[in-house]
A and B are shown apart, each in its own frame.
Chain A
Amino acid sequence: MSVAMRQTVSALALGGRELRGAWSRRATLATIIVGAALVAPAVLPLSGRMPDLAGFVYLAVAAVGLAYAVGLAGIPSLGQGAFLGIGAFAEAIARAKGGWPLLPSLACAVLVTAAAGTLAGLATGRLRGAFVAVSTWILSWIVVLTLTSFPGISGGAQGLVLPQSRLTPTAHYELGIVLLVLAVLAYLVLAPRAPGLALAAARERPQAAVGLGVPVARLRLGAFAASAAIAGLAGALSVELAQIADPSTYGPFLSFKLFVAVVLGGARTPLGPIAGLLVISAFSHLAEQIGSLRGLPPGRVEMMLTGYGLLLVLGLGGAGLVPAAWKWWRRVRPSAPAPAARSTALGEPPSAIANREPLVARGLSKRFQSLLALDDLDLELEPGTIHGLIGPNGSGKTTALRLLAGDLAPDSGTVAVGGQSLDAEPQRERALHGVVGTEQTTGIFPELTVLESALVGAGLRRHYGGALRTLLQTPKARAEAAEAERRAIGALEFVGLAENADRPAGELSAHEQRLLMLASALATEPRALLLDEPAAGASPAELEHLADLLADLRTKGLALLVIEHNLRFVRRVADTVTVLAAGRRIASGTLDAVAEDELVRAAYLGRSRI
């Protein structure tokens, strides 16, 4: 016990020191603002408006929760109002009909909503973009129609009346502020760290993220469920405040309003939804004034103004008010000196492979409807070798890479490494086994920095990088994060991008982007790298650099498969090649040997020399 206590004390002390070190003026300012918000009811004459204020704060909590789905995970959810309603009615039913006390009812509401969010997330998991928006919008309708159709459950149009609560509106307000701060803090902690980076990668290039071992589907589901759970908590508390659960409050317009607030304010920053909601509230007041002046129903005017707001933001680029304001602020105020380049001494170069086992593919075949893309391919990648895979366009090279990487399931054939079959393993699991592939196109994450992109890859080997540990910043999570950062920097140093660590990946040249893809893949600590056209668009000097890098990796014992059209480059780097034509292997061996093959020449359309 005393050892445990000592460890605890020292961990707490270390954590405290790191927090002090990370404390900034912005943090001080934020603390002052939060303190002022908490103290405001005691100082200002707000008692009459406290219920409205507390209601606004709970709505802001739900909006920040939505930012987890929309901003972090890129899920355009138009169903947050439905989750607010589910949480509200779960709470109301537990309290009004079940006679439960407050805390168990709240817990029940959160759990029910999280479960509903999980189910909805599973149902919409494979959908993207507009389809997600539509299906979540339909969910909003389903929830409100269900509530109004079963008045025995929901109290009908009169709503469900809750037992009188001991919490005053001021207590609700204070509680809401605390929850809002926690939601914002959680976002700020998660976004730049492993879970947030993985979600960002999944948001920008899901395919590339999967290739680096990011569990895209699970992360998106988790973000969606968390967003729903936060909405459920906000809904449960807001109904405790209102003392009545009214189905009409949780209609599709509420979902729309929250979505617009998040987009309007900026989905990628936790303060964006709060700013957006303030603007929406201003719309609401404006709508009332217009409505009373013109004799129009204020609800309709509000909907119209909200729609215009959304169009305006989308028309101006879609980043949101807070990012735009921040950008303007940086233009107006001279920016602080650029942070010093990270010490390369922190980097941990890719280490030599310990387990030297070949990647073996036997009889791989894949048909796409009537097209036989690959027919009975055998391939063996030995550790410490570079094997080229060449052939004309459409010969099945990329298909072969995707089958090896696990991105596609073969119709027949096997893939194994070190005698262990990988047939049942999807892409992420193959990455865990050390088989990592890169995309033919530049599969980088444009909005992440170079270092962040590499960290996505480094996250594959983390055991303590989950959302909860990251949130709580446990000692193991922090230690592992530091180690991952060292690995990521080492990979960047290896490919020569360490100096650009803080640049957005989208600003790199095409070749640099391909190097970044390589670095991200290296950060996963692979044993077999499958590179699809790594030399595309490279200048001769860049080709040389790349060739040196691949040679280096070969000496470290990696097995490399390189798909390339640039035969000079293939000659430069590959130990052996396999030639594909029309999905079949037509030759294997050294490049010189296969160049003499009649079939190979014919495949390359009679070229006299390959």
Chain B
Amino acid sequence: MKNFRLFFCAQIILVLMIAAPLSAFEFSEIEKQIVEYKLDNGLTFIILPRHDAPVVTFITHVDAGCVDDPMGSMGMAHMFEHMAFKGTREIGTTDIKKELKWIDEEDRIFELILNERSKGELADSAVLASLDEQLAAAADSSDQYVLTNEFGQIVEREGGIGMNAGTSYDGTVYYIEYPSNRLELWMAMESDRFANPVLRQLYKEKQVIAEERRFRITSSPTGKLFLNEFLGLAFNSHPYGKSMVGEMEEIENYNRPVMRRQLATHYVPRNMAIGIVGDVDPDEVIRLAKKYFGRLADQPKPRPVMITEEPPFGIRSSTIYENAQPMFIMGYHIPSGRDADFIALDALASYLGSGRTSALYKNLVKDKKSAVQVSAFTGFPGEKYETLFGVFCIPSNDFTNAENEAMVLAEIEKVRTETISDSDLEKIKAKARSGLINALASNTGMAVRLTDYYFLKGDWRELFKDLERVNALTVDDLKRVAHKYLDPDKRVVAYLEKPVEGESN
């Protein structure tokens, strides 16, 4: 009795608190501090000064990702992301002329290798072996002029931290943080690596990429499940279904001419945006940006992928049998992150599977204890094109994938036919607001968000507008999109199951 009364009071107090007007913090104050500047060549800078500490984050966002890879060279965007750390005509070499001579020789030999390989079964293995040797010799010759990893070494020596890059289906992002007085150094190096990339040590780096592929996909049960089976199943025609790292054979056939063509069309200023958040003066940033990035030649922005994935006509499923933790991932086709319905779908994912009070977590993990982990998401594998609404679940030891899937489907059926409570919707709104405020505390978090929105929705201001859109959502919006998109008969599911006894592989 006593307990019940306490709970009742707690609820009333919470409702009152939510109803109270939100306090002084205004996002518009932050918006006013953000400076956007577009160079003549079309390269956009988005700058948020923040003088809390003398440090700054630089994000270079290139609107070219795995979806833009040429046929037969999937994974090229990711490969170039590696090559971007290999230096320039000035950085990473003791003699650029001699090095380039041998680099051309590497390419000449590799062209012969490709010609021979293209014969398939008829290829002469003795010829290939001899060409491989010649290629290795040419690579050794060019290597003698290489200052291996000098680009990264300079960054580290000058106090840069967190230098990294990531390639996704939608784009490629380069990260770095510096003490803020290294602004000009970053301008010089970053513009140089995209204006004058040398693509040195390419044939060695392919082996590194092959190891990365083994690491991420073929040696990892979750890698196989998510990237290979699930996405391959969900996307028949759109490149979201292709391998991000490329197939092994594609990696083996990567070559400089293809990569150079890809760079010439996709690493162009109109296809790039730079986010700078930290202890900088925007005027100084713009002055230096003109000086260093102004040299990149203006070229048209490449066209996006113009294939729309047709949602499935039925249920598609795939099962991997492996001696690992059983799990499954389920997806429904939904429109891209640019569509007006996306906000409601995202809120729905939050309601169903984000946090301890989400519907799926409460039902499967807390109450039935049939799962140890369950989450719902939108925007995998990307947001720029028609994408997926998904649920990922790890059953607990005594429950099966099938039992949990049935419970997930039942929970999804509920949101398609019934409206969620107002207090649940308020929770989603509160989470969105505090999430954005927390993001403001991180230079990197903000720089990433601003450039993401710039390409996804054409304007970084959409970041703040989206929060207003979340605040305007109604419970009927969620029910409507659930009903429209989460059709159980058109879902895609990939399972990881233990091998059946007696049929060991």
A and B co-occur in one complex: no
